[in-house]
Amino acid sequence: MDDWSGYLTDFHTRRPGIADAVLSRCTSGNHTPYRWLARGVSQTATRVLDVRCGAGAMGRELAAEGRTVIGLDRNAAELAAAHGPGPFVRCDALAMPFADGSFDAVVSTLGLAQIHPTSGLLDEVSRVLRPGGVFVGLVPTIRPLNARDMRTAARLTQVLLGTPRFPATVELAVGKLLEQHGLRKAEDARERYHFTVEDREDADLLLSGLYLPTTSPQRLQAASDWLTQQAAEHDGIRVPIPLRRVVAIK
């Protein structure tokens, strides 16, 4: 991809709220990725910044009495679809319009993978965090997967002739990278979530939420057909969505 910025702008303008819709349907036990991310934020945090907030699902998860959650996104369509406690601010995450030390916590659901360069994002995160403040980020990863997950992922990859892609690597060397930006790693954990496909509508929703810049419409249709068929034959198919949660302290 030579133009990730243009691709992401077009993707989210045409599909506002898609990340919220897909991730809200992903579960591990009794929680979603948003609940897992929120657990990294102290109950005493009163000013929280949600970077690349999309339609506001993370802000709704973090909402609490006495807490302000500011959602930040550069995409106008996403912010037009956003709802939750707010307020919402349209700006580039690489040039945030906030004073140094403004926040007790900064969270980002997929920003570490979407916002490039990663170093620029972490510069701004570190700047707007107060000393002792916490950064919590989720990023796609490639594990953990069990044998069934691996078979499902491999077959879906085969049908699509590719895998989801991101501007930044999904296997970051987190510890050293955080230290370079004044942040100390407190946790680096992985969790396996699943999106359950029960019919074609589910299949199309999942596929429409994946970054597949070089995948043809024919391949997407073939993947939708395969997922729909598997769902019908097996009373639903669980597609693995492994994620990694990073917690760091300034």
CB count, 10 Å around CB of 32? 17
How far is the C-alpha of 226 from the C-alpha of 217, rounded, in Å? 14
How far is the C-alpha of 107 from the C-alpha of 150, rounded, in Å? 30
pLDDT at 170: 63
Weakly modelled stretches of the chain, pLDDT under 50: none
How far is the C-alpha of 228 from the C-alpha of 217, rounded, in Å? 16
Domains of the chain and CATH, by start: 4-143+167-193+241-249 (3.40.50.150)
pLDDT at 171: 75
Residue 108 main-chain phi, psi, to 5 deg: -155, 120
pLDDT at 108: 97
